[in-house]
Amino acid sequence: MPGIVECVPNVSEGRRGEVIDRIADAVRATDGVRLLDRTSDVDHNRSVITFAGPADAVEAAAHALVAAAFAEIDMRTHRGEHPRLGAVDVVPFVPLAGTTMDECVAIAHHFGRAVAERHDVPVYFYARAATRPERTRLPDIRKPQYEGLAAAMASTHAPDAGPSRIHPAHGAMVTGARPPLIAFNIELDTTDVALAKRIAKEIRESSGGLPAVQALGFGLTDPPRAQVSMNLLDTSVTSLARVWREVEERAREAGVRVLRGELIGLMPLDASLQVTADALRLEGLARDRIIEAHFLE
């Protein structure tokens, strides 16, 4: 059987349902690809589309998604809480069954150069597909955001592919290859965004916090709440349960309750087993103790 690749594009639209439908439909219409999930957030004004299949089909679906998103999203009028560089902000390729990381790096490079040529947009390679060490971390590439990218392109942000100018409507795109990650948010029972930002700074790796954790603090509007928004890059290093405890402890010290968690997109089975083992104090809980896992294998 051919290897399976997962693709998890993040697009800068989370409010217009009909637009998100059309972008998802472009993926769904691609032969050989299975649309696994779509998750949207109004405050972030962002959607995450997850699909998988053989490498060639997944790359074709990614191109279809880019074309559909570029036809609908104009960055000149886009506003949202989440940092972003473009209409299709980031397109990671993830190796699943029978696929290697090196193969996903090659897909990302081929896909990124083709997007740059077809759509005249600057493209950056990140994570395992990065061509320079300072572009391994997505937050470092995305730091100027769409509004500041034009000025940064003259110094730190020369693109890896495509023109050395921002596309007015589409912005820029980041693509790469990475292991599975978990996008996970925790809502606090407060409107104190400064508290969420402080907690995020304390727990993220770049500030000396938890390894393999990226975090930011945001304000939500419906209802008004503060949120700690995170990417867990490797749950074998820092688990979901550890992240929850660290956020909850800091919130409690400030006299604030944790209200709920929110999963964006999908998560690996092994990460959920870690949470179960932690909650029930089960040592060595592995897939072979799960009935369905025997059939999945």
Which pLDDT band holds residue 38 (cuts at 50, 70, 90)?
very high
Contact predicate 161/116, CB 8 Å: yes
Cα 159 from Cα 170, distance rounded (Å): 15
- The pLDDT value recorded for residue 1 is 64
- The pLDDT value recorded for residue 294 is 83
Cα 51 from Cα 28, distance rounded (Å): 9
Which pLDDT band holds residue 297 (cuts at 50, 70, 90)?
low
Which pLDDT band holds residue 10 (cuts at 50, 70, 90)?
very high
The pLDDT of residue 11 is above 90? yes
Beta-ladder partners of 175: 91, 125
Closest CA to 217 of 253, 170, 185, 177: 185
Distances (CA, A) of 77 to 12, 54, 72: 11, 36, 12
The pLDDT of residue 270 is above 70? yes
Copy the structure tokens of residue 108.
């990302």
Indicate if the alpha-carbon torsion angle 40, 179, 116, 122 is positive or negative. Answer: positive
User: What's the whole-number mean pLDDT along residues 279-286?
Assistant: 89
Distance between start and end Cα atoms, the chain? 14
Contact predicate 74/25, CB 8 Å: no
Cα 53 from Cα 31, distance rounded (Å): 9
Q: State residue 166 phi and psi, 5-degree precision.
A: -75, 145
| pLDDT tens digits, one per residue of 101-116 | 999 999 999 999 999 9
The dihedral formed by the CA atoms of 92, 134, 140 and 149, expressed in degrees to the nearest 10: -90
Copy the structure tokens of residue 229.
């928004």
Contact predicate 215/185, CB 8 Å: no
| pLDDT tens digits, one per residue of 135-162 | 999 999 999 999 999 999 999 999 999 9
Contact predicate 52/7, CB 8 Å: yes
Copy the structure tokens of residue 96.
């699943």
Contact predicate 239/266, CB 8 Å: no
Cα 84 from Cα 147, distance rounded (Å): 9
Strands 10-11 and 46-53: antiparallel
- The pLDDT value recorded for residue 292 is 86
Cα 139 from Cα 272, distance rounded (Å): 26
Q: Which domains does the chain have, with CATH numbers?
A: 5-177 (3.30.990.10), 182-296 (3.30.70.670)
Lowest mean pLDDT among 61-65, 94-98, 173-177: 94-98
Which residues have a catalytic role annotated? Answer: 82
Percent of the chain with pLDDT over 90: 93
| pLDDT tens digits, one per residue of 39-90 | 999 999 999 999 999 999 999 999 999 999 999 999 999 999 999 999 999 9
- The pLDDT value recorded for residue 131 is 96
| pLDDT tens digits, one per residue of 204-242 | 999 999 999 999 999 999 899 999 999 999 998 999 999
Contact predicate 229/213, CB 8 Å: no
Mean pLDDT of the chain: 96
